[in-house]
Amino acid sequence: VELDGTDLLKLKIDKRAKHMAMVPQTTTLTISFPAREIIAMGRHPHRGRFVRETPEDQRIIDEALDINGVRPFAEHPVDQLSGGQRQLVHLARAIAQSAPVLLPDEPTSALDLQHQVAVYQLLRQRADAGATVLVVLHDLNDVGRWCDRAVLLDRGHIRAEGTTDEVLTADQLSEVYGIPVAVERTGPRGRPHHLTVTALPDHPGAGGRVPELHRTDIHTGELQ
């Protein structure tokens, strides 16, 4: 894997962190830091771990606190927050990192509808401002609604790559998922953000049971 032509493994961690910010689905912390301290960790690549925050650091951290509604629980220990609140904290930490590449992994999996929309709007704004946002999603409606380009993976291999119109087709999705899928384009400019899965109860072999998870299907949407 390369970043701007350089092997990532050859980049020092702090330099890598200046270029890329990751937002994991889940995190495990052995020490329960307040939410604000987690967000402030996003500034470490720019000033060092044991260097005091500069006024510029504080400004960026304050903006990250406000940008997605984290400030009301900024002083709460993260292990006392809900899963959705923790997701917002780690997204704010990634924003504070000020990296040109943002890598969120299922960033709305624990959020209610209102916060899901707010997070996608934030990611969309970052992309429109020039950042590269590469997000892992399983909800194909969100891929069609918010992303410019998509990569469809099937068992670890790229099955399709291109615009959301090119990737989110009934034939390709039906083949990857193994069930009939109909794609109805009802979004702005006819974007395929509304997908309907059809004939699932009559799918051969289903028998009313949840099918075995024998395949890794990851749908990566890219906001450019």
Domain boundaries, the chain: 2-137, 144-214
User: Average of pLDDT values for 43-48?
Assistant: 88
pLDDT for residue 186 is more than 80: no
The model's pTM is: 0.81
Please check the confidence at residue 195 and state whether its pLDDT lies above 80.
no
The yes or no reply on domain 2-137 and CATH 3.40.50.2300 is no
Tens digit of each residue's pLDDT (9 = 90 or more) over 128-176: 999 999 999 999 889 988 999 999 999 999 999 999 989 999 999 999 9
Task: Give the mean model confidence (pLDDT) for residues 111-121.
Answer: 93
Task: Flag whether pLDDT at 220 surpasses 60.
Answer: no
Whether residue 188 is predicted with pLDDT greater than 70 in this model: the reply is no
Q: What is the mean pLDDT of the chain?
A: 84
Q: For 202-216, write each residue's pLDDT tens digit.
A: 555 444 444 444 433
Q: Which residue has the higher pLDDT, 55 or 51?
A: 55
Q: How confident is the model at residue 196 (pLDDT cuts 50, 70, 90)?
A: low
Residues 56-93 have pLDDT tens digits of 999 999 999 998 889 999 999 999 999 999 999 999 99
**Predicted confidence band at 50 (pLDDT cuts at 50, 70, 90)?**
confident
DSSP string, the chain: -EETTEEGGGS-HHHHHHHEEEE-S----SS--BHHHHHHGGGHHHH-TTSPPPHHHHHHHHHHHHHTT-GGGTTSBGGGS-HHHHHHHHHHHHHHTT-SEEEEBSTTTT--HHHHHHHHHHHHHHHHTT-EEEEEES-HHHHHHH-SEEEEEETTEEEEEEEHHHHS-HHHHHHHHTS-EEEE--SGGG---EEEE-S-TT-TTTTTSPPP--S---EEEEE-
Residue 109 confidence (pLDDT) above 60: yes
